[in-house]
Structures are given as structure tokens and as C-alpha cells.
Amino acid sequence: MRVRTSHLRRTAWSALSLTLLAGCATEREAAPPPLAPNRVVVDLSNETIDALAERVAAQVAAQVAAQAAPQPGSVAGIEVGNAGPRNEAGRPTATVAGRAVAPALRASPPPGVFVKPPHVEASAAIAEATAAVDAACEWLVAHQSEDGGWHPDTFTTRCPGVPCEGRGASAYAPGVTGLAVTALLRATPTFEANPRRDAILAGLRYLRGLQDSEGCIGPRISSHFQYNHACASLALVEAAARGAGASADIRESAQHAVDFVLRSQNPYLGWRYGVRDGDNDTSMTCWMVRVLAAARDAGLRVDDNAWRGALAWVDKMTEPEFGRVGYQRRGGPTARPIETLERFPPELSEAMTAAGLLVREVCGQTVADNEFARKGADLVLSRPPTWDVEHGTNDFYYWELGTDALRRADAPRWAVWRSALHGAVTLRQHREDSHAHGSWDALDAWSNEGGRLYATATLCLALENVVSTR
């Protein structure tokens, strides 16, 4: 059977896509698809990106020649056209081998499967990301409420004329405010150079006003109140590090928030929705580790045992052969809000693998010296940002996590991810002459909660990793 070279090259990059389930926080898990024995070995640490593609293309050609007529329904095989193996849900099966990742292959990439994005030079990516960040920050400031917070359910009252779309839930105002303040803070290298200081200070006053006597920020009326606390705490800690406002008062509130994070950690493990209640998950653990890492950098008090516990949890959740990190089960599937489970299939995200990788990196492990960090980085790279609402690939939370994790990994992985981020995020920002200018549509797995405010703040944070103002 003849296979065109262009098809092989696209297939080679499809071999960096994965349809296994990853972990992400919340209500319902889907069953993971089976692993298929056919494997295409990919080692990003030893080759350039282009050489990797050529090598995988050769491997694909060999497999296509060996299996010219794969049997539908078989566990193994290479998909050509519409033939090939499927799991019980009717989706293509995937396979992983050590540090390698590959789906069941086909001569042309299926919908929603990543094909290597056009390379974007670093200088161009940084320039366009800088402009996008500036526009996003302007939109956030324009939609800040009079009390200093950002409210997902009522932000449209700030819109003149036709209001922006994308309302979220009122319960997440403390967390969304934390995301917005952090995005504004990171837009410039220093607080003194920031043209949006007044908006930042108003947001910080709002958050400090929500802090209780134990240091928790926001009411504990939602089962997810720890997410609000983590996002809000990150904003306070980064503001303290930059000397924002009355820095002594900010540092006091930030330390109080960090103390609540430490008090909430389960002994020798991680975090979840309660306060030292014995329940853990990878998403919440990653958020708390991010707060503690920022606190460490700001010179605040952090218990070193926290790092050991977080790593113990991530190790417990890491499937050793393939490096996938589960949400609450080793190598287990992602979770989604029930209402978005079908629209945004969980197998199209590696959010918890990105979270686990980020925890490892913050705690000192690297892709150069840690096997599971390498495997995790390759799995994350297999699902880079792809804006495709029709096929359900949008997951802004994952994209921000993956960006933060892969920028710390190595240059080859970062170059591919950055190019994908450019196409999925920078080019999707509203730039028309409307009040939505600078924002992103609330179209992902988590937008029902945080709405357009969450979408814009989160994607702004992702792009700030490209700009590297921190």
C-alpha cells in the first residue's frame, strides 16, 4: 500500500497525540480507554523536533506496510481512513511506550487530534503575546466591580451597550478575583511600573476583606471553597513579593493565607476540599503547591514538610509505565462537571499530568533527572492547546497548567507548545471594535463556573508565561 509523504508527516505528529484520560478536578469520571500494544517510540530529550517527526514518520511507514489492512475492532492496528481499532465509547484507542506516546495511527489526523503547529519564532510569539496580555488586562480592568472584585455573574453591568456574553457563578468571585489580580500583577516586571496599580490595590482590598480569622479567603459555603482560597492567596502572595501597596499589611494577609494552606494539608500527602480531612486530589494539591512556591519566593514562612507530602501524593497518583497522573486514582481518568462531560470529552486533556509535572518541577525534579517528569512532559506535549469547540478540545485550565509546566521543561518541548498556544489562544482573542475586545469566549470545560472572567484571566496568565515578566 502506498502512503503519501505528507500523510506520513501529519501522522507522525498525530503520533504525539493521546486519547487516554487524564485527571482534572470535579464531579464525574469517565472510564479510561484500553491501551493498544502497537507503539511508536518518541524521545524528545535526545532529538530536535523536526528530526523527531522524520523518525516517527519512518516508523509509521513501517507499521503501515506491515498492517495494510487493519481489522476494525481489534485492540492493535493502525487506522487508515475510517478503519481501525475503537474503544467501547467508539473513540480511537491509544498507546504509550515508556517515554513515548502515540494514538492508534491513521493516514490523516482525525478531528481534534493535534498536528504539529506552524513554527512561530520566539520573538514573534513574545511580541504578539505581549499585545494580547495588554488587551486582556484592559478588558479585565474595564469589568472590575465597584467593590474591587470581579464577579462572574454580574460583570456585564460594566458593559456599555450590548453586554459581553459568558456569565459564571457568583460563588467563584473570590477565586476569579484572585486570577484577575494575579494576571494584572504579572503583566509588568514590577509593581511600580504597572499602569493598573489602582485596580490591583482595589482587588487586594476586596480579597483581604473576605479573609476570616483562620486566614481562609472567601466564605466556606461552597464545597470548592479551597479553590477560591488558593487563587486568592496566590494573588496576595505575589502582591507581597512585588511590594504592592502597604506591603507590610499585604505580607501579613499573605502569610495568614499561607498558614491556612499549610493547616489544610493532610499529613504526609496533599489537599482537597476540606481542612485536613484525609481527602486528596491532584488538582487541589497543585494549586496549593503553587501558592507555597510563590510564598517561598516571597520570603514567607513555608513548612518544608509540605513539599514532601505533595510529592508523595503525586507519586501515588503516577502510573509508572506511562507517567500519567490521575486525579484521585493512579493513572486514572480526568473528571468534568457533569454538564460539560459530553461537550468536552475528558480524554482530550492531560490536565492532571500537567499538574503533577508542575508539582515535581516546583519541588526540584526536572525532565533531565527524573523519569516520571520526562514521561509526564511527553504526555502533556501530546495534547497541546487546540481551540476546537466542535470536537471539545478546549480546556483553558489545562492550557495554563501545561504552559507553566513546559516552560520549565526544556527548549524543544517548549517551542512546540508555545507555537500551539499561539494558534489556540493569541489568535482567538477578541480584537474587534467591541466591548469584548481583549477577552476570550467562555467556551471550555470550566467556563460554566467562572465565565468570561475566568476564561480571560486564565488565558492571560498562560500568555504571561510566554512573555516571561516574572
pLDDT value at residue 275: 98
Which residue is associated with the grid cell 485596580?
A: 199
Domain formed by 122-467, architecture: Alpha/alpha barrel (1.50)
State the pLDDT at residue 50.
52
Beta strands in 292-371 (DSSP E): 335-336
Domain locations in the chain? 5-103, 122-467
Nearest by Cα to 51 from 420, 368, 419, 412: 412
**Single-letter code of the amino acid located at 404:** D
pLDDT at 149: 98
- Report the pLDDT value the prediction gives residue 125, as an integer from 0 to 100: 84
pLDDT at 190: 93
Report CA-CA distances (Å) from 345 to 26, 33, 334, 427, 453.
14, 12, 9, 23, 23
From the list 275, 277, 283, the residue with the least C-alpha distance to 215 is 275
Q: What's the rounded Cα separation, in Å, for the pair 218 and 171? A: 9
How far is the CA of 381 from the CAs of 35, 120, 252, 353, 385, in angstroms? 18, 16, 39, 10, 9
Rounded Cα distance between 51 and 91, Å, is 29
| Per-block mean pLDDT, blocks of 10 residues, the chain (470 long) | 39 36 38 33 42 43 38 25 33 30 29 51 87 98 98 96 94 98 96 96 98 98 95 98 87 98 98 97 98 97 97 98 95 86 93 98 97 97 95 97 96 94 94 93 96 98 83
pLDDT for res 386: 96
If we measure between CA atoms, which residue out of 90, 216, 162, 106 comes closest to residue 432? Answer: 162
DSSP letter, residue 295: H
Q: Rounded to whole angstroms, how far apart are CA atoms 299 and 232?
A: 18
38 near 104, Cβ under 8 Å?
yes
Q: What is the pTM of this model?
A: 0.78
Q: Are strands 100-103 and 335-336 parallel, antiparallel or unpaired?
A: unpaired
Hey, which residues does 101 pair with through a beta bridge?
96
